[in-house]
Amino acid sequence: MTAADIHPIPLSLVDSDPLAAAAAFGDAFARTGFAVVSEHGIPDRVINRALGATKALFALDEGAKAANIVPNGGGQRGMTAFGIETAKGAAARDLKEFWHVGRELPAGHAHEDVMPGNVWPREWPDFKPAVLDLYDALEVTGLKLLKALALHLGLAPDFFDDPVRDGNSVLRLLHYPPLRGGEGGSIRAGAHEDINVITLLLGAEEAGLQLLDRQGQWRDIDAPPGSLVCNIGDMLQRLSGGRLPSTSHRVINPAPERASVARYSTPFFLHFRPDYLIETMPGGPSDWPPITANEFLQERLREIKLL
């Protein structure tokens, strides 16, 4: 298996040379749908604290975990049990469990009806501040990357500031347990495209993440320790008229010598605000009519069996 041709790009380039950043990220995303970001500026302390909280959460016994599952949470908040999520069109379920954290909205906020409140595990008081700090840090990072992408698309650098303000972004704390045998046709995460605007992923240094290249070959994504893997989601693909493609990716099962090792990763799904109207830029496919971010999301959540 050859690795995808992706070279780390320092995020600091957005400040030091915005046009060079737009060219570098634009090229990586246009070619592969993915970029590896170095010098992302999120302190190790913030990442390690959230990772510690994640590991402690998934080490809880099954009874305590089950008590934290919110019925009808739409898969949007709190725990989603092992073996629920199924990639669109796939028969086999994914080998993962995860915890979703959304934006903390002030009481009475206009988006309250479609952005449910967070739930927190009772057993781990440090969990909430740890993951909210990471949520905030990833949001700052994502906004910076969106400046470069706006420039790449010929838009004003602050174009995305309004569409993502109070956006429905979700932080997913993911746990792929060690393989136990009997997985059947299941892999850790079946091939899928992300629904949202952009995804920022921490933890991809543990092998397994692959993208589908333009020739239809699966390629490993080599992420140096400490880097952030970013990819374009369907919402930005739609807005950009396909210039920034949303690319299929998956997480394959480990080689036998790593089968007993759990994998933890943390994607931050950066979303528009729910009432933002996604309109395809001129030149894009004509069968992509305007649609609000929330309508688009609900349609897609039903497809992956999270609703």
Ligand X SMILES: O=C(O)CCC(=O)C(=O)O
* Non-local CB neighbours of 78 within 8 Å, separated by 6+ positions: 68, 69, 70, 99, 100, 118, 119
Residue 111 or residue 172: which is nearer to ligand X going by CB? 172
CB atoms within 10 A of CB 108: 6
Binding mask 171-210 for Fe ion (x = CB under 5 A): -----------------------x----------------
Asked if 113 and 17 touch (Cβ cutoff 8 Å), the reply is: no
Residue 9 or residue 209: which is nearer to ligand X going by CB? 209
Q: Is 213 among the residues that bind Fe ion (CB under 5 A)? A: no
Asked if 190 and 92 touch (Cβ cutoff 8 Å), the reply is: yes
Tokens read off for 117: 């409140």
Nearest approach in angstroms of CB 181 to Fe ion is 26
Residue 194 or residue 234: which is nearer to ligand X going by CB? 194
3-class DSSP state for residue 53?
helix
Residue 48 or residue 162: which is nearer to ligand X going by CB? 48
Size of the site for Fe ion (CB under 5 A): 1
Strands 263-270 and 170-176: antiparallel
Binding site for ligand X (CB under 6 A): 172, 174, 189, 194, 201, 204, 209, 249, 251, 265, 267
**Residue 24 interacting partner from Fe ion, ligand X, none (CB closer than 5 to 8 Å by kind):** none
Residue 151 or residue 236: which is nearer to Fe ion going by CB? 236
Asked if 229 and 221 touch (Cβ cutoff 8 Å), the reply is: yes
Nearest approach in angstroms of CB 108 to ligand X is 32
3-class DSSP state for residue 182?
coil
Residues that bind Fe ion (CB under 5 A): 194
